[in-house]
Structure 1
Amino acid sequence: MASHSLDGKSAIVTGASSGIGSETVRALARDGANVALAARREERLEEIAADIEDDHDIEAIVVPTDVTDEGAVEELLTETVEAFGRLDVLVNNAGLTRGGDVAELSNEEYRTMIDVNVDGTFFVTRAALPLLEETEGNLICLGSFAGQYPRPSNPVYAATKWWVRGFALSVAAAVGEKGVAVSVINPSEVRTEFGGDETFEERFDEGEVTEPAEIADAVAFAARQETSTVSELDLFRRDKFSGF
């Protein structure tokens, strides 16, 4: 059972068109929040929005958004406030990986990870903070196991997630006195479209690693906090450390 309902509150979820993002939209809607769905795949967002409005009797808006575009990010915040009148929860979920080994990583692959994972997180957070301060809301960032432990298979991706984690926890120190809660959710492998040539959804069978809905439940739990704050939540598959 939810410790606190999100009835009457509003949320933005970036990367909302699939995986953790789409399941987070569903989890927040289940708890009563109106939700702005942000990603680049508009048709997919429209399908998810229609589903959650039918299932949970909430309002959902679709705002096609490239988080690396500052203008698009500002429009996302504007449309959210116009629709709902406020912002209570921001979920920085948009993220991706490219390439792997540093010596073979192209400039384009490097820049894409920095643009989305780092710059995108910054742009959306910067735009949303004044609104979250007004509502004493919740900022939630999707970190990663890779942002806590060395990741030899893709050091640049890992570095972007170390950045996200460090940024979020430092923002927490800056805005806590203003009543804003900041949480970081750190998954290990999640069975989604995330990945390179082979996605985690293709690589792992159901039940072998974490499912997106499990991460979404953790995000919703963090979003429901009203006084204390969940600083970090680690959700690792149970055998994650068996090879160490």
Structure 2
Amino acid sequence: MAEKRLEGQAAIVTGASAGIGAATCRALAAEGATVTLAARREERLEKLAAELEADHDVETLVVPTDVREETQVEALVSETVETVGRLDVLVNNAGLGRGSDVETMATDDYRLMQETNLDGVFYATRAAIPHVREQGGHLLFVGSFAGQYPRPFNPVYAATKWWVRGFAKSVAAQVGDDGVGVTIVNPSEVRSEFETTDGDTFAERFEEGEVTEPEEVAEAIAFAATREHSSVTELDLYRRDKFTGF
């Protein structure tokens, strides 16, 4: 039987109801972690939690959470620590893309992305740091190819992911001496429910094998979370033809 490298540890995954988040819950549970599933769609979370318990014989905790709401995020971390007794891993996965052109972008879409992609990451990280520090655990951030290269479309979304990278690296500079690992995972297109600028999902736009699968990103997150003495600073997962024509 393969060693379960996160046995006895506790993890929180935001945006856990689908895509990268759901795949990450499965990957961490396969490593033996107790997983707290956080997202807004409670029915999906309950179904996934039952699957994890049946397939991996782990404990789970479902905490419906809107990461835009500070008090809900604080309650997410508090309930995890009170119920499980610890927090070793935080996966900041919840994210949102809206609109494209700056000139025509609605202010509501702009604010929604800021509140989800920036505020939510800040709230969760701030609440988790004391507990993750105590365990010498890991803070993980799902970034994006969009947060590494200038792009002519959806620049506001791209800017939020640049912020995530900058924030994560600066947090690493603050908590590295405390033995906390900080990792950024940057996928390009992932076949999930995440919406394109045209309103389609990437799962609808791409056939299997064309772009990255959620499970590939989840495996990268699990790899980083299982490092005991080092910190995987950054991992990029791009489709193989991503730079064709650059």
TM more than 0.5: yes
How far is the alpha carbon of 1:3 from its aligned partner?
8.2
- The normalised TM-score by structure 1 is 0.98
How far is the alpha carbon of 1:243 from its aligned partner?
2.1
Asked if 2 retains the 8 angstrom alpha-carbon contact of 1:222 and 1:229, the reply is: yes
Identical-residue share of aligned pairs (%) = 65
How far is the alpha carbon of 1:82 from its aligned partner?
1.7
What corresponds to 2:48 in structure 1? 48
Q: 2:229 aligns with which of 227, 230, 238?
A: 227
Equivalent position SS for 2:245 = coil
Does 2:169 match 1:169?
A: yes
What corresponds to 2:37 in structure 1? 37
Cα distance change on mapping 1:90 and 1:202 into 2, 3 Å? same
Query: In structure 2, what is the Cα distance between the partners aligned to 1:102 and 1:4?
Result: 46
Residues 61-112 of structure 1 deviation map (CA, whole Å, 9 limit, x = unaligned) = 1000011111101110111012210000000000010000000100001000
Asked if 2 retains the 8 angstrom alpha-carbon contact of 1:2 and 1:31, the reply is: no
- The normalised TM-score by structure 2 is 0.97
Q: How many residues align?
A: 244
Query: Within 5 A, what are the aligned runs for 1:124-203?
Result: 124-196=124-196, 197-203=199-205
- Partner AA of 1:171 in structure 2: V
Moved over 3 A (4+): 1-4
Asked if 1 retains the 8 angstrom alpha-carbon contact of 2:4 and 2:32, the reply is: no
Residues 129-167 of structure 1 deviation map (CA, whole Å, 9 limit, x = unaligned) = 010111011000000000000121110000000000000
> Which residues of structure 1 form unaligned runs of 5+?
none
How far is the alpha carbon of 1:233 from its aligned partner?
0.2
Query: In structure 1, what is the Cα distance between the partners aligned to 2:34 and 2:83?
Result: 9
Instruction: Give the RMSD, CA atoms, in angstroms.
Output: 1.2
Equivalent position SS for 2:172 = helix
Asked if 1 retains the 8 angstrom alpha-carbon contact of 2:4 and 2:30, the reply is: no
How far is the alpha carbon of 1:199 from its aligned partner?
0.7
What corresponds to 2:18 in structure 1? 18
What corresponds to 1:117 in structure 2? 117
